[in-house]
A and B are shown apart, each in its own frame.
Chain A
Amino acid sequence: SGELYCSLPNPRNVHFESINMKNVLHWSAPEGTGDGVLYKVKYSVYGVGKWIRKPECRNINRTWCDLSSETSDYEEQYYASVKAFLNGMCSDWMETTRFNPLTDTKIDPPMISISSTEKSISIILTAPEKWNRSPEGESVSLLQVYPGLQYNVSVLNKKTKKRWFFSVSNNTLVVPWLEPGTAYCVSAQIHVTTPLLHSGFSKEYCIATLKDKTA
């Protein structure tokens, strides 16, 4: 059918929010419109000639649409667009800027598991996984997407309040020669040099070294 006369104000701030390549389109409702606004969404692969409608985001009243599946090939770049409808009126299509999943995603901190002996703590770091189409599907670690991925690890001695930093490439770190019966708190961050990406530091995981049996 022919396009409706589009005098409705446009959706605002149409943009991708991406974490670990889970790519979700977000926008704000048109100015001055109350409830009842519906939206539809389309997307396109940059350099390819057609817009593709997203059926699951047709006539929706929420202001987000998960396009992770459609934008999962991170060797491509994408645009997405949103149109609003209300009482027979519609807005213009409002587009995102060009979205590059590889450089425009945010990365979660690594997962940490720690164990301790009398005089050491062992830290195992796990990089988050790339968004996955289905839980049964083969999972891909961000380590495979960003081969230069490294971890910055912070170890805090709760007794002396001294904090040390380690930079490690592999995913395990053993800190030997510690004081028995002492609490240590560990947090870690992911650091990718090319493209330049940082995760935040994870929350702190604390553990105590075992008490000295001979003492």
Chain B
Amino acid sequence: DALLPAPQNISIVSINMKHFLTWSPVIVQGETVRYSVEFQGEYEREYANESWIPICECSLITATVCNITEDISATVAYNLRVRADGGARRSEWGTLKGFFNRITTSLTPPLMKVIADGYHLLVELEDMGPAFQFCVLYWKKGQENRMQQKVVKEVSSVVHLDTMEAGPDYCVKAQTYVEAINRSSSFSQTQCVRAQGSRSVWLV
């Protein structure tokens, strides 16, 4: 049989703007099967004769996963396909069912650590890459209606939020915001701290 079976179960795993194409392996006894991936944006479909563009990092690879993040870099509907090569034989293209638009990526709340350093309220945020900004809300415990907001565009270790009065607890929560798709994650767990002279005290 000249043709290999086309790769099956082609799907996308997209978390926090990192997009991966995965598929089931094509099994051929005694053969190493290799795979090649191509993508097609809406532009290619509508203006460039439905052309496909190969992803060279995923040309003739043995893995059954391909990082397509670099190429899915516009908020439009993308088509993706995979083909198998084994020995002298090649499969038809297996195509992702439906399109993939990065606007559907799942956004997880950011890892966050709140610090009280003397009378200063600080936050340490996880660096999630250039696409991410953070919306940080903080308030005096019990005064949820007087929340303050700070947008953190660049994560550089410890970010200063505000100064605190001695005594009350200060609570903080954060969510990510991705400008490219104009979406935000849900909020992280709230963390509360209290300023007491220069000693930091953790209260959760």
Contact = CB atoms under 8 A, between A and B. Distances in A.
B163 A177 contact: yes
Contact-size category for B: 10 to 19
Contact of B198 (A166, A179, A193): A179
B89 interface: no
Interface stretch (B3-11, B18-26, B76-84, B149-157): B149-157
Given A152-B154, A179-B198, A165 B120 contact: no
B160 interface: yes
Interface in B139-162: 152-154, 156-160
Interface stretch (A55-63, A108-116, A130-138, A156-164): A156-164
- Do most interface residues of chain A lie in helix, strand or loop, or is the interface mixed? strand
A148 to B, nearest CB: 11
Given A162-B158, A176-B163, A167 B198 contact: no
A175 B117 CA distance: 13
Contacts of A191: 154
A160 B154 CA distance: 24
B52 interface: no
A175 B122 CA distance: 13
A162 B119 contact: no
Interface string A152-187: 101101001011111100000001111100000000
Contacts of B109: none
Query: Residue among A152, A157, A162 with the most chain B CB within 10 A?
Result: A162
Nearest to B117: A162
Interface in B151-191: 152-154, 156-160, 163-164
A164 B163 contact: no
Contact of A165 (B160, B163, B164, B198): B160
A14 to B, nearest CB: 32
Contact-size category for A: 10 to 19
Contact of A177 (B119, B152, B157, B158): B119
Interface string B117-129: 1111010000000
Contacts of B119: 176-177
B179 to A, nearest CB: 10
Interface of A: 150, 152, 154-155, 157, 160, 162-167, 175-179, 191, 193
30 contacts: A150-B153, A154-B156, A157-B117, A160-B117, A162-B117, A162-B158, A163-B157, A164-B120, A164-B122, A164-B158, A164-B159, A164-B160, A165-B156, A165-B157, A165-B159, A165-B160, A166-B159, A166-B160, A167-B152, A167-B153, A167-B154, A175-B160, A176-B119, A176-B163, A177-B120, A177-B163, A177-B164, A178-B118, A179-B198, A191-B154
Given A155-B160, A179-B198, 7 more contacts: A157-B117, A164-B120, A164-B122, A165-B156, A165-B158, A176-B119, A177-B120
